Amino acid sequence: MHFKELSFPTNYIWGAAISAAQAEGAVHIDGKLNSIWDDFSKRKWNLNRKIAHHGISHKPLNSAEFYHNFKADIQILKQLNFKAFRFSTAWSRILPNGIGPINQKGIDFYNQLIDELLENNIVPWLTIYHWDLPVALQKKGGWVNRDILNWFEEFTQVLLHHFGDRVLNWMVLNEPLAFTAAGHFLGVHAPGKIGITNFLKATHHALLVQANTGRQIKNINANFKVGTTFSATYITPYSQKPKDIEATKRADALYNRLFLEPYLGMGLPISELPFLNKIEKYTKSEDNYAFDADFIGIQNYTREVAKHNTWMPYIKAGIVPAEKRNVPITAMKWEILPESIYHILKKINQYPNLPPIYLTEVGAAFKDTVSENGDVNDQERIQFFEKYFQQVLRAHQENYTTEGVFVWSLLDNFEWAEGYHPRFGLVHVDFKTQQRIIKQSGKWFKDFLKS
Beta-carbon neighbour count of residue 152 at 10 Å? 28
Write down the pLDDT at residue 1. Answer: 47
CA 258, CA 314: separation in Å to the nearest integer?
Answer: 14
Q: What is the pLDDT of residues 412-434, one digit of tens each?
A: 999 999 988 899 999 999 999 99
**What CATH number does residue 67 fall under?**
3.20.20.80
State how many domains the chain has: 1
**What is the pTM (predicted TM-score) of this model?**
0.96
Question: Which of 175, 304, 335, 415 is labelled catalytic?
Answer: 175
Q: What is the pLDDT of residues 375-414, one digit of tens each?
A: 999 999 999 999 999 999 999 999 999 999 999 999 999 9
Lowest mean pLDDT among 2-16, 233-247, 305-319: 2-16
**Virtual CA dihedral for 5, 379, 367, 27, nearest 10 degrees?**
-60
Annotation says 361 is catalytic: yes
> Residue 160 is part of which domain span?
3-450
Query: Is residue 56's pLDDT more than 90?
Result: no
Q: Residue 45: which pLDDT band, with cuts at 50, 70 and 90?
A: very low
Q: What is the pLDDT of residues 161-182, one digit of tens each?
A: 999 999 999 999 999 999 999 9
Annotation says 372 is catalytic: no
Q: What is the pLDDT of residues 267-287, one digit of tens each?
A: 999 999 999 999 999 999 999
Q: What is the pLDDT of residues 327-349, one digit of tens each?
A: 999 999 999 999 999 999 999 99
Percent of the chain with pLDDT over 90: 92
Pick the closest to residue 124 from 180, 178, 85, 73 (CA basis): 85
Question: Which of 24, 304, 335, 361 is labelled catalytic?
Answer: 361
Query: Is residue 451's pLDDT more than 90?
Result: no
Q: Which long-range contacts (CB under 8 A, 24 or more apart) does 369-377 make?
A: 370/428, 370/430, 370/437, 374/437, 375/437, 375/440, 376/428, 376/437, 376/439, 376/440, 377/439, 377/440
